[in-house]
Amino acid sequence: EHSLKILASALNKGIIIETLLNYTGYFFAWSLNSYNYLASLKSTIMDPIKRSFIGAVKFEIIILKFLFQGTLNTGFGYIIFALAIYLGFEPKIALAIDYIFIGFFSFLMNKFWVFGSDGNLEQEFSKFIFTLFCIFLLNLIVLSGLLQISIFNAYSAQLIAIIIVTISSYLIQKFWVFS
């Protein structure tokens, strides 16, 4: 009941999503009143992106494609991870199995659909494999760290690690692999 009162209060102030995400422990501040701030922040951080309307629309489409493809990829990857844990594999081995199965699909989707790259296939694939390995190591570090905290099991720890890995993966692929 207390949560519902706080949510109702947030609705009245126009901070719907921020309150929900902060309540679940995630900090991802979106609010109806902060659109201008976020737009200016995006243009400050993303200088390489064209500031024209067409550039902004293209950027938004790429983000949406990446999130859609990433959701599919992450969903299938998490199912593989959870199945491997269920079958008795250690979390580190389950994570490796996940990355092996999902990596190739992710490369093809990102190269041809998300970023629409017409760059050299071998060069981009080499960069992608290196990136995938680095992202795997980051995921392994975060997963292992969270497993050290006794309140997390392998399932919940990997869900949290996915957030960090997704952001890192997008930035590296956008500005290095498929640039």
C-alpha 6: how far from chain center? 28
C-alpha 41: how far from chain center? 19
User: What's the confidence (pLDDT) of residue 4?
Assistant: 47
Residue 31 CA to residue 60 CA, distance in Å, equals: 18
User: What's the confidence (pLDDT) of residue 63?
Assistant: 83
Residue 140 CA to residue 179 CA, distance in Å, equals: 26
Q: Where are the alpha helices (DSSP H) in 14-90?
A: 16-23, 35-45, 53-86
pLDDT in tens, the chain (179 residues): 554 454 445 444 444 444 433 433 333 333 333 344 444 544 554 454 445 555 556 667 888 888 888 889 889 999 999 999 999 999 999 999 999 989 988 999 989 988 888 999 999 999 999 999 999 999 999 999 999 987 889 999 999 999 999 889 989 998 999 88
Beta-carbon-side half-sphere exposure of residue 106 (alpha carbons within 13 Å): 26
User: What's the confidence (pLDDT) of residue 17?
Assistant: 41
The owner of tokens 């999902």 is 102
**Residue 54 zone, left/alpha/beta (φ > 0; ψ -120 to 50; rest):** alpha
Nearest to 174 by CA among 45, 5, 11, 2: 45
